[in-house]
Structure 1
Amino acid sequence: MTPRTFGGDGAADASDTSATGREQTRRRIIEAAVGLLERGGRDAVTTRAVAEAAGLQPPAIYRLFGDKDGLLEAVAEHGFATFLAAKHVDPDPQDPIEDLKAGWDLAVEFGLANPALYALMYSEPARPASAAFELGMEILMGRVRRLAVGGWLRVDEELAAQIIHATARGAVLTWLSQPEDRRDPALLTTLREAMVAAVTNQEPAVRDAGPAGAARTLRATLPEQTSLSGAEQRLLREWLDRLAADG
């Protein structure tokens, strides 16, 4: 008969089971909080109400999240992760301008479909950025970089990303602040087109004789350059920054 073994493997299995159970409980609490948030707003998300909705005792929330603020931060992170999962990333879009519009529309549609969650996600600008938020911004910066490489970008990449993000967020919050009978879809379309006009050229700038657009395009592709030393790349970037600013 094969002897029964004890020790490390059994302890590991128990630890894995405990971790899985903890994560399932955590998810259950967050989903309960999201449900309360959507039905009754932020004030409805109390530790007692969340615990009752999740079928748990309030101490479970304190053990996993510390306090109500910790729970709300986890709910906001859940919102960013949910939005990130809905994003479609095309590494080589046929039309980068339409790709930009589609990404903007998706962000706005998420906010309009999840008003209470969206308001919580952006209620505290000073909150440390979550991992999901940072990854979402990386996707946005990828879109901006493709515009720059193609010569479409009118402004600096960082400024372009800020404009895109700010107009989408402003569109959602402005729409939600209006009474339903005053919500005009033209607001969203107009803001999106204003954003496109603010950050992109009507035609790729590299087709123009001016140096500013070409400088932005070269600056965007500079990280791929391997024939220059680090010092040479820094010097070239400084020159390109000056040329781009002149445009």
Structure 2
Amino acid sequence: MEMASSDTRERLISAAADLIAASPGEDFSLRAVCDAVGVKMPTLYHFFGSKQGLIDAVVEHGFDLYLGEKAAMESSGDPIQDIRAGWDAHVAFGLTNPGFYTLMYGKVSPGHPPAGQSRANEILKGLTSRAADQGRLAVSPDQAAAHVLVSNIGVTLRQIILAQPDPELSHAVREGVMAAITGTATGQGDALNAAIEVAAAHPHILGATETQLLVEWLGKLSREVS
């Protein structure tokens, strides 16, 4: 019985997700969800309590998909480069799954972020903390993570709203944020910090191992002379 109940719940979430994906940003019918699964309305309310309860479950499902993709990504070994890769993966997920994304980041209750957002944020904060440990940040790890996240969400939502990918905009905003948090924007930082980020952004030129060593050496030199 428990297995059947669990299966019914998952099928209801899947049906709602399919309806949301088919018409991003539009409302969906609970009756249509029940009809797709072949159950009565009381069954849906038994599992979720309300329409908002079902939406919350769909949002959590969306974060499970998103975090599953992030978990499958290989680390470059460089936290700043991993932030760049994470940015691009975030945008790609939003453009591929606009229905999920607009619920995950576009429709939120003030003061009550979805639990999945916290899981995603912790991954980003882990990277900014590593970058701070290497002396690569001009701001605190929390502030760096906030800069990246709000900019990443804004760029993704804009492309979803316009229904048109804009990789040049995404790249430009991403690099602007990277320069801001690392202190290499115009008028900030110094030549050593700039050299670190140039090397890290192009590991194919020197090779991964050599680039990592160069970043470590320049970072140590920057900390000693600053």
Question: Normalised by the shorter chain, which TM-score bucket?
Answer: 0.7 to 0.9
Partner of 2:173: 191
Note if 1:175 corresponds to 2:159.
yes
Deviations 1:203-236 (A, max 9, x none): 365532688x7xxxxxxxxxxxxxxxxxxxxxxx
Q: Give yes or no for contact 1:79–1:117 (8 Å, CA) kept in 2.
A: yes
Change (3 A) 1:165 1:125: farther
Q: Give yes or no for contact 1:89–1:139 (8 Å, CA) kept in 2.
A: no
Provide the TM-score with structure 2 as the length reference: 0.77
SS in structure 2 of the partner of residue 87 of structure 1: helix
Q: Give yes or no for contact 1:34–1:75 (8 Å, CA) kept in 2.
A: yes
Change (3 A) 1:111 1:184: closer
C-alpha separation in 1, matches of 2:46 and 2:25: 21
Shift of residue 153 of structure 1?
1.0
Note if 1:68 corresponds to 2:82.
no
Shift of residue 95 of structure 1?
2.5
CA RMSD in angstroms, aligned pairs only: 2.3
C-alpha separation in 2, matches of 1:100 and 1:184: 19
Note if 1:129 corresponds to 2:143.
no
Partner of 1:104: 87
C-alpha separation in 1, matches of 2:163 and 2:109: 25
Note if 1:35 corresponds to 2:49.
no
SS in structure 2 of the partner of residue 88 of structure 1: helix
Partner of 2:139: 155
Shift of residue 29 of structure 1?
0.3
Deviations 1:135-172 (A, max 9, x none): 22111111111101111111111111111111110111
Within 5 A, what are the aligned runs for 1:1-247?
18-88=1-71, 93-122=76-105, 123-126=107-110, 128-178=112-162, 180=164, 183-201=165-183, 202=194, 203=196, 206-208=220-222
Gaps of 5+ in 2: 184-193, 197-217
Deviations 1:105-163 (A, max 9, x none): 11111111111210011211526334432222111111111101111111111111111
Deviations 1:25-70 (A, max 9, x none): 1110000001000112354421101111122111111111111111
Higher mean C-alpha displacement, 86-95 vs 153-162: 86-95
C-alpha separation in 1, matches of 2:74 and 2:130: 9
Change (3 A) 1:127 1:61: farther
Q: Which has the larger radius of gyration?
A: 1
State percent identity of aligned pairs: 35
Q: Give yes or no for contact 1:96–1:147 (8 Å, CA) kept in 2.
A: yes
Q: Give yes or no for contact 1:46–1:68 (8 Å, CA) kept in 2.
A: no
Q: Give yes or no for contact 1:167–1:191 (8 Å, CA) kept in 2.
A: yes
Provide the TM-score with structure 1 as the length reference: 0.71
Partner amino acid for 1:115? Answer: P
Aligned residue pair count: 193
C-alpha separation in 1, matches of 2:47 and 2:100: 20
Partner of 1:233: none
Change (3 A) 1:90 1:155: farther
SS in structure 2 of the partner of residue 99 of structure 1: helix
C-alpha separation in 1, matches of 2:108 and 2:167: 27
Partner amino acid for 1:184? Answer: D
Partner of 2:215: none
Higher mean C-alpha displacement, 169-178 vs 194-203: 194-203
